[in-house]
Structure 1
Amino acid sequence: MTDQLDLLRYPIGQFEAPEVYTDEQLEEWIKVLEEFPAKLEKLVSALDNDQLNTPYRPGGWTVRQTIHHLADSHHHSYTRFKWTLTENKPRIKAYFEQEWAELEDAKFLPIQISLDYLKAIHAKLVATIKSLTDEQLSRSYIHPEGDVEINLKKQTGIYAWHSQHHFAHIANLLGREGWVS
Protein backbone atom coordinates (compact mmCIF):
# COMPACT_ATOMS: atom_id res chain seq x y z
CA MET A 1 0.00 0.00 0.00
CA THR A 2 2.83 2.40 0.84
CA ASP A 3 4.43 1.94 -2.59
CA GLN A 4 1.09 2.64 -4.28
CA LEU A 5 0.53 5.72 -2.10
CA ASP A 6 4.09 6.91 -2.83
CA LEU A 7 3.40 6.54 -6.56
CA LEU A 8 0.24 8.60 -6.18
CA ARG A 9 2.12 11.15 -4.08
CA TYR A 10 5.15 11.38 -6.41
CA PRO A 11 3.98 10.19 -9.85
CA ILE A 12 7.10 11.56 -11.59
CA GLY A 13 9.44 10.89 -8.66
CA GLN A 14 10.97 13.46 -6.37
CA PHE A 15 13.10 16.32 -7.66
CA GLU A 16 16.74 15.38 -8.05
CA ALA A 17 19.14 18.23 -8.65
CA PRO A 18 21.88 17.47 -11.16
CA GLU A 19 25.48 17.73 -10.04
CA VAL A 20 26.17 20.09 -12.95
CA TYR A 21 23.62 22.47 -14.44
CA THR A 22 23.94 22.53 -18.21
CA ASP A 23 22.55 25.17 -20.56
CA GLU A 24 20.46 22.43 -22.18
CA GLN A 25 18.93 21.45 -18.83
CA LEU A 26 18.12 25.06 -17.99
CA GLU A 27 16.55 25.56 -21.43
CA GLU A 28 14.36 22.48 -20.89
CA TRP A 29 13.24 23.73 -17.48
CA ILE A 30 12.47 27.17 -18.90
CA LYS A 31 10.40 25.51 -21.65
CA VAL A 32 8.41 23.61 -19.01
CA LEU A 33 7.77 26.83 -17.08
CA GLU A 34 6.77 28.60 -20.28
CA GLU A 35 4.33 25.90 -21.39
CA PHE A 36 2.87 24.99 -18.02
CA PRO A 37 0.02 27.53 -17.62
CA ALA A 38 -1.51 26.71 -21.02
CA LYS A 39 -1.10 22.95 -20.55
CA LEU A 40 -2.70 23.09 -17.12
CA GLU A 41 -5.61 25.20 -18.33
CA LYS A 42 -6.23 22.78 -21.21
CA LEU A 43 -6.15 19.84 -18.79
CA VAL A 44 -8.69 21.29 -16.32
CA SER A 45 -10.85 23.75 -18.27
CA ALA A 46 -13.75 21.37 -18.85
CA LEU A 47 -13.92 19.97 -15.30
CA ASP A 48 -17.14 20.37 -13.34
CA ASN A 49 -17.39 21.18 -9.63
CA ASP A 50 -17.53 17.51 -8.60
CA GLN A 51 -14.33 16.80 -10.51
CA LEU A 52 -12.64 19.93 -9.14
CA ASN A 53 -13.56 18.87 -5.61
CA THR A 54 -12.11 15.36 -6.01
CA PRO A 55 -8.80 14.64 -4.26
CA TYR A 56 -6.01 13.43 -6.55
CA ARG A 57 -5.10 10.75 -3.98
CA PRO A 58 -6.43 9.49 -0.63
CA GLY A 59 -5.70 12.20 1.92
CA GLY A 60 -4.53 14.58 -0.81
CA TRP A 61 -5.78 17.93 -1.99
CA THR A 62 -8.65 18.33 -4.37
CA VAL A 63 -7.95 19.37 -7.93
CA ARG A 64 -9.20 22.86 -7.00
CA GLN A 65 -6.87 23.09 -3.99
CA THR A 66 -3.98 21.85 -6.13
CA ILE A 67 -4.53 24.53 -8.76
CA HIS A 68 -4.75 27.27 -6.13
CA HIS A 69 -1.64 25.80 -4.43
CA LEU A 70 0.25 26.05 -7.72
CA ALA A 71 -0.55 29.77 -7.96
CA ASP A 72 0.47 30.36 -4.34
CA SER A 73 3.66 28.33 -4.59
CA HIS A 74 4.80 29.77 -7.90
CA HIS A 75 4.14 33.26 -6.57
CA HIS A 76 6.57 32.43 -3.75
CA SER A 77 9.10 31.13 -6.28
CA TYR A 78 8.98 34.37 -8.25
CA THR A 79 9.38 36.39 -5.05
CA ARG A 80 12.37 34.25 -4.07
CA PHE A 81 13.96 35.00 -7.45
CA LYS A 82 13.50 38.74 -6.92
CA TRP A 83 14.87 38.65 -3.37
CA THR A 84 17.87 36.65 -4.50
CA LEU A 85 18.62 39.05 -7.31
CA THR A 86 18.34 42.13 -5.11
CA GLU A 87 19.80 40.95 -1.79
CA ASN A 88 22.91 39.06 -0.76
CA LYS A 89 21.89 35.48 0.13
CA PRO A 90 18.56 36.42 1.65
CA ARG A 91 16.99 34.16 4.22
CA ILE A 92 13.57 33.60 2.70
CA LYS A 93 10.36 33.06 4.60
CA ALA A 94 8.82 29.62 4.26
CA TYR A 95 5.05 29.20 4.30
CA PHE A 96 2.78 26.44 5.52
CA GLU A 97 1.40 25.20 2.21
CA GLN A 98 -0.88 22.63 3.83
CA GLU A 99 -2.57 25.32 5.92
CA TRP A 100 -2.82 27.65 2.91
CA ALA A 101 -4.57 24.87 0.98
CA GLU A 102 -7.20 24.67 3.73
CA LEU A 103 -8.12 28.35 3.53
CA GLU A 104 -11.40 29.36 1.93
CA ASP A 105 -9.90 30.74 -1.27
CA ALA A 106 -8.16 27.43 -2.04
CA LYS A 107 -11.25 25.38 -1.26
CA PHE A 108 -13.97 27.40 -2.96
CA LEU A 109 -12.80 30.08 -5.41
CA PRO A 110 -13.14 29.43 -9.14
CA ILE A 111 -9.95 27.95 -10.57
CA GLN A 112 -9.83 30.50 -13.39
CA ILE A 113 -8.48 33.06 -10.91
CA SER A 114 -5.40 30.93 -10.28
CA LEU A 115 -5.11 29.82 -13.92
CA ASP A 116 -4.97 33.47 -14.98
CA TYR A 117 -2.52 34.25 -12.20
CA LEU A 118 -0.26 31.38 -13.26
CA LYS A 119 -0.17 32.79 -16.81
CA ALA A 120 0.94 36.17 -15.47
CA ILE A 121 3.45 34.93 -12.89
CA HIS A 122 5.01 32.43 -15.31
CA ALA A 123 5.34 35.12 -17.99
CA LYS A 124 7.20 37.29 -15.47
CA LEU A 125 9.26 34.39 -14.10
CA VAL A 126 10.31 33.11 -17.53
CA ALA A 127 11.19 36.62 -18.75
CA THR A 128 13.27 37.13 -15.61
CA ILE A 129 15.10 33.80 -15.93
CA LYS A 130 15.83 34.35 -19.63
CA SER A 131 17.36 37.75 -18.85
CA LEU A 132 19.83 36.42 -16.27
CA THR A 133 23.52 35.81 -16.72
CA ASP A 134 25.15 32.62 -15.50
CA GLU A 135 26.55 34.60 -12.58
CA GLN A 136 23.07 35.82 -11.61
CA LEU A 137 21.62 32.31 -11.91
CA SER A 138 24.33 31.16 -9.51
CA ARG A 139 23.13 33.55 -6.80
CA SER A 140 21.43 31.83 -3.90
CA TYR A 141 19.08 32.24 -0.98
CA ILE A 142 18.87 30.46 2.35
CA HIS A 143 15.79 28.34 2.99
CA PRO A 144 14.93 28.29 6.72
CA GLU A 145 14.01 24.59 6.71
CA GLY A 146 17.46 23.17 7.41
CA ASP A 147 19.32 26.37 6.50
CA VAL A 148 19.75 25.04 2.97
CA GLU A 149 21.36 27.25 0.34
CA ILE A 150 19.52 27.11 -3.00
CA ASN A 151 20.79 28.81 -6.13
CA LEU A 152 18.51 30.10 -8.87
CA LYS A 153 19.50 27.32 -11.27
CA LYS A 154 18.24 24.76 -8.78
CA GLN A 155 15.16 26.90 -8.08
CA THR A 156 14.37 26.85 -11.81
CA GLY A 157 14.58 23.06 -11.80
CA ILE A 158 12.51 22.71 -8.65
CA TYR A 159 9.64 24.71 -10.11
CA ALA A 160 9.78 23.00 -13.50
CA TRP A 161 9.53 19.72 -11.57
CA HIS A 162 6.79 21.17 -9.34
CA SER A 163 4.76 22.11 -12.42
CA GLN A 164 5.04 18.62 -13.91
CA HIS A 165 4.53 16.96 -10.50
CA HIS A 166 1.12 18.51 -9.88
CA PHE A 167 0.16 18.28 -13.56
CA ALA A 168 0.74 14.51 -13.26
CA HIS A 169 -1.44 14.35 -10.13
CA ILE A 170 -4.36 15.83 -12.02
CA ALA A 171 -3.72 13.97 -15.30
CA ASN A 172 -3.50 10.63 -13.46
CA LEU A 173 -6.76 11.31 -11.63
CA LEU A 174 -8.46 12.10 -14.94
CA GLY A 175 -6.94 9.05 -16.64
CA ARG A 176 -5.18 11.27 -19.17
CA GLU A 177 -1.70 11.23 -20.58
CA GLY A 178 0.91 13.02 -18.53
CA TRP A 179 3.21 15.84 -19.59
CA VAL A 180 3.88 15.92 -23.33
CA SER A 181 6.33 18.48 -24.74
Structure 2
Amino acid sequence: MTSMDWATALDRLFDQPNDPEARTWLEGAVAAGTGTPGQRRAYDLLVAGQDVIELLDALPEAVAQAVAKAGADRLTISPAPGEWSASQLIHHLADNEAVNAVRIRSILTEDTPTIFGYDSDPWSRFYGVEPWEHALERLRCARRNTVALARSLSAEEMDRRGVLSYRGAESLRVLLAVLAGHDRDHLNQLESTLTATR
Protein backbone atom coordinates (compact mmCIF):
# COMPACT_ATOMS: atom_id res chain seq x y z
CA MET A 1 0.00 0.00 0.00
CA THR A 2 1.19 3.51 -0.82
CA SER A 3 2.36 5.58 2.15
CA MET A 4 -0.78 7.33 3.31
CA ASP A 5 -1.80 10.07 5.70
CA TRP A 6 -4.91 12.19 6.08
CA ALA A 7 -3.83 14.86 3.60
CA THR A 8 -2.78 12.36 0.94
CA ALA A 9 -5.91 10.27 1.29
CA LEU A 10 -8.24 13.29 1.17
CA ASP A 11 -6.40 14.64 -1.86
CA ARG A 12 -6.99 11.37 -3.66
CA LEU A 13 -10.73 11.53 -2.97
CA PHE A 14 -10.98 14.82 -4.87
CA ASP A 15 -9.86 13.02 -8.02
CA GLN A 16 -11.65 9.75 -7.34
CA PRO A 17 -14.20 9.64 -4.50
CA ASN A 18 -14.26 5.83 -4.68
CA ASP A 19 -10.47 5.39 -4.61
CA PRO A 20 -10.33 2.01 -2.79
CA GLU A 21 -6.89 2.48 -1.24
CA ALA A 22 -7.67 5.95 0.10
CA ARG A 23 -11.12 4.87 1.30
CA THR A 24 -9.72 1.85 3.13
CA TRP A 25 -7.06 3.94 4.83
CA LEU A 26 -9.55 6.63 5.82
CA GLU A 27 -12.11 4.15 7.13
CA GLY A 28 -9.39 2.66 9.33
CA ALA A 29 -8.26 6.11 10.50
CA VAL A 30 -11.83 7.12 11.39
CA ALA A 31 -12.38 3.82 13.24
CA ALA A 32 -9.13 4.41 15.16
CA GLY A 33 -10.29 7.92 16.11
CA THR A 34 -7.38 9.70 14.46
CA GLY A 35 -7.52 13.01 12.60
CA THR A 36 -9.20 16.24 13.56
CA PRO A 37 -13.00 16.59 13.55
CA GLY A 38 -12.66 18.76 10.43
CA GLN A 39 -10.62 16.07 8.64
CA ARG A 40 -13.13 13.38 9.53
CA ARG A 41 -16.04 15.51 8.36
CA ALA A 42 -14.13 16.43 5.16
CA TYR A 43 -13.90 12.70 4.45
CA ASP A 44 -17.68 12.36 4.82
CA LEU A 45 -18.29 15.31 2.50
CA LEU A 46 -15.92 14.10 -0.22
CA VAL A 47 -17.25 10.53 -0.16
CA ALA A 48 -20.76 11.96 -0.52
CA GLY A 49 -19.62 13.89 -3.61
CA GLN A 50 -20.28 17.29 -2.03
CA ASP A 51 -18.88 20.39 -3.74
CA VAL A 52 -16.54 21.93 -1.18
CA ILE A 53 -16.74 25.49 -2.52
CA GLU A 54 -20.54 25.39 -2.67
CA LEU A 55 -20.60 24.21 0.95
CA LEU A 56 -18.27 27.03 1.97
CA ASP A 57 -20.49 29.51 0.16
CA ALA A 58 -23.64 28.25 1.91
CA LEU A 59 -22.43 28.53 5.51
CA PRO A 60 -23.20 32.17 6.40
CA GLU A 61 -26.78 31.91 5.18
CA ALA A 62 -27.26 28.62 7.04
CA VAL A 63 -26.04 30.29 10.25
CA ALA A 64 -28.31 33.29 9.64
CA GLN A 65 -31.33 31.05 9.08
CA ALA A 66 -30.67 29.02 12.24
CA VAL A 67 -30.41 32.24 14.26
CA ALA A 68 -33.54 33.76 12.72
CA LYS A 69 -35.59 30.66 13.56
CA ALA A 70 -34.34 30.60 17.14
CA GLY A 71 -34.72 34.24 18.10
CA ALA A 72 -32.03 36.52 19.49
CA ASP A 73 -32.96 35.94 23.14
CA ARG A 74 -31.56 32.37 23.03
CA LEU A 75 -28.20 33.19 21.46
CA THR A 76 -26.31 34.01 24.64
CA ILE A 77 -27.54 31.02 26.65
CA SER A 78 -25.02 28.22 27.13
CA PRO A 79 -26.55 24.74 26.89
CA ALA A 80 -24.36 23.51 29.77
CA PRO A 81 -21.52 24.80 31.95
CA GLY A 82 -18.33 25.17 29.93
CA GLU A 83 -20.10 24.89 26.57
CA TRP A 84 -20.28 27.73 24.07
CA SER A 85 -23.48 29.62 23.44
CA ALA A 86 -24.76 30.17 19.90
CA SER A 87 -23.34 33.70 19.99
CA GLN A 88 -19.90 32.37 20.90
CA LEU A 89 -20.07 29.83 18.08
CA ILE A 90 -20.79 32.63 15.60
CA HIS A 91 -17.79 34.59 16.88
CA HIS A 92 -15.63 31.48 16.59
CA LEU A 93 -16.67 30.90 12.97
CA ALA A 94 -15.87 34.53 12.14
CA ASP A 95 -12.46 34.32 13.82
CA ASN A 96 -11.67 31.01 12.15
CA GLU A 97 -12.49 32.51 8.76
CA ALA A 98 -10.02 35.33 9.40
CA VAL A 99 -7.32 32.81 10.32
CA ASN A 100 -7.95 30.75 7.21
CA ALA A 101 -7.88 33.83 4.96
CA VAL A 102 -4.25 34.30 6.07
CA ARG A 103 -3.46 30.60 5.68
CA ILE A 104 -4.83 30.53 2.13
CA ARG A 105 -2.87 33.59 1.05
CA SER A 106 0.31 32.25 2.62
CA ILE A 107 -0.03 29.00 0.68
CA LEU A 108 -0.64 30.88 -2.56
CA THR A 109 2.30 33.28 -2.17
CA GLU A 110 5.00 31.31 -0.33
CA ASP A 111 6.76 28.01 -1.00
CA THR A 112 5.30 25.39 1.37
CA PRO A 113 4.87 27.84 4.25
CA THR A 114 4.41 26.90 7.86
CA ILE A 115 0.76 27.65 8.63
CA PHE A 116 0.04 28.68 12.20
CA GLY A 117 -2.39 26.81 14.38
CA TYR A 118 -4.24 28.43 17.25
CA ASP A 119 -6.17 27.46 20.36
CA SER A 120 -9.64 28.93 19.87
CA ASP A 121 -10.68 28.78 23.53
CA PRO A 122 -8.51 31.71 24.73
CA TRP A 123 -9.79 33.80 21.81
CA SER A 124 -13.25 33.67 23.38
CA ARG A 125 -12.18 36.43 25.80
CA PHE A 126 -12.62 38.87 22.89
CA TYR A 127 -16.14 37.80 21.95
CA GLY A 128 -17.65 40.60 24.01
CA VAL A 129 -15.93 43.24 21.88
CA GLU A 130 -18.67 43.16 19.25
CA PRO A 131 -22.30 42.02 19.08
CA TRP A 132 -22.96 38.64 17.48
CA GLU A 133 -24.63 40.44 14.56
CA HIS A 134 -21.32 42.09 13.72
CA ALA A 135 -19.50 38.77 14.00
CA LEU A 136 -21.99 37.24 11.58
CA GLU A 137 -21.40 40.12 9.17
CA ARG A 138 -17.63 39.58 9.48
CA LEU A 139 -18.18 35.93 8.64
CA ARG A 140 -20.36 36.83 5.63
CA CYS A 141 -17.85 39.30 4.19
CA ALA A 142 -14.74 37.21 4.78
CA ARG A 143 -16.36 34.01 3.50
CA ARG A 144 -17.62 35.78 0.38
CA ASN A 145 -14.00 36.75 -0.33
CA THR A 146 -12.71 33.23 0.40
CA VAL A 147 -15.22 31.70 -2.01
CA ALA A 148 -14.47 34.23 -4.76
CA LEU A 149 -10.76 33.55 -4.38
CA ALA A 150 -11.21 29.78 -4.36
CA ARG A 151 -13.32 29.91 -7.53
CA SER A 152 -10.61 31.90 -9.30
CA LEU A 153 -7.83 29.36 -8.67
CA SER A 154 -6.33 26.93 -11.14
CA ALA A 155 -5.84 23.23 -10.39
CA GLU A 156 -2.12 23.92 -9.96
CA GLU A 157 -2.85 26.60 -7.37
CA MET A 158 -5.19 24.26 -5.51
CA ASP A 159 -2.32 21.75 -5.37
CA ARG A 160 -0.02 24.21 -3.54
CA ARG A 161 0.80 23.08 -0.03
CA GLY A 162 1.30 24.47 3.43
CA VAL A 163 2.42 22.77 6.64
CA LEU A 164 0.07 23.11 9.58
CA SER A 165 1.63 22.33 12.95
CA TYR A 166 -1.04 19.88 14.07
CA ARG A 167 -2.07 18.40 10.69
CA GLY A 168 1.15 18.36 8.71
CA ALA A 169 1.54 19.23 5.02
CA GLU A 170 -1.65 19.48 2.98
CA SER A 171 -2.80 20.98 -0.29
CA LEU A 172 -4.94 24.07 -0.45
CA ARG A 173 -7.90 22.04 -1.67
CA VAL A 174 -7.62 19.75 1.36
CA LEU A 175 -7.41 22.79 3.65
CA LEU A 176 -10.65 24.06 2.07
CA ALA A 177 -12.31 20.66 2.50
CA VAL A 178 -11.31 20.58 6.17
CA LEU A 179 -12.65 24.12 6.55
CA ALA A 180 -15.96 22.94 5.07
CA GLY A 181 -15.90 20.01 7.51
CA HIS A 182 -15.22 22.38 10.41
CA ASP A 183 -18.18 24.48 9.25
CA ARG A 184 -20.47 21.47 9.18
CA ASP A 185 -19.49 20.37 12.69
CA HIS A 186 -20.09 23.83 14.14
CA LEU A 187 -23.32 24.34 12.23
CA ASN A 188 -24.58 21.08 13.74
CA GLN A 189 -23.38 22.29 17.15
CA LEU A 190 -25.13 25.63 16.66
CA GLU A 191 -28.41 23.93 15.80
CA SER A 192 -28.08 21.57 18.78
CA THR A 193 -27.28 24.46 21.10
CA LEU A 194 -30.31 26.43 19.95
CA THR A 195 -32.51 23.36 20.40
CA ALA A 196 -31.13 22.69 23.89
CA THR A 197 -31.77 26.28 25.02
CA ARG A 198 -35.47 26.38 24.11
TM-score (norm 1): 0.76
In the TM superposition, what are the counterparts of 1:1-181 in structure 2 within 5 Å? 15-16=39-40, 17-18=42-43, 25=49, 28-45=51-68, 47-49=71-73, 51-56=74-79, 58-101=81-124, 103=125, 105-107=126-128, 109-145=130-166, 148-175=168-195
For these two proteins, the number of residue pairs brought into alignment is 156
Superposed displacement of residue 140, structure 1: 1.0
Identity across matched positions, percent: 25
With over 3 angstroms needed to count, the CA separation of the structure-2 counterparts of 1:86 and 1:56, relative to structure 1, is: farther
Q: Distance in 1 between matches of 2:79 and 2:174?
A: 27
- 8 Å CA contact 2:38–2:179 kept in 1: the answer is no
| Structure 1: 5+ residue stretches without partners | 1-12, 177-181
Cα distance, 1:109 vs structure 2 = 2.8
The aligned amino acid for 1:139 is: R
Q: CA deviation at 1:15?
A: 3.1
Contact 1:140 1:152 in 2 (8 A): yes
What is the Cα deviation at residue 60 of structure 1?
1.8
* Structure-2-length-normalised TM-score: 0.70
CA distance in 2: counterparts of 1:53 and 1:114, whole angstroms:
14
CA RMSD of superposed structures (Å): 2.4
User: Aligned-pair distance for 1:160?
Assistant: 0.9
Task: Name the CA shift for 1:61/1:173 in 2 (closer, same or farther; >3 Å).
Answer: closer
Q: Which has the higher helix share?
A: 2
AA aligned opposite 2:181: W
Cα distance between partner residues in 2 of 1:124 and 1:100: 23
Quick one: structure 1 residues 119 and 15, their matched pair in 2 at CA, closer, same or farther if it must change by over 3 Å? same
- For residues 52 and 107 of structure 1, do their structure 2 counterparts lie closer, same or farther at Cα, with a shift above 3 Å needed? farther
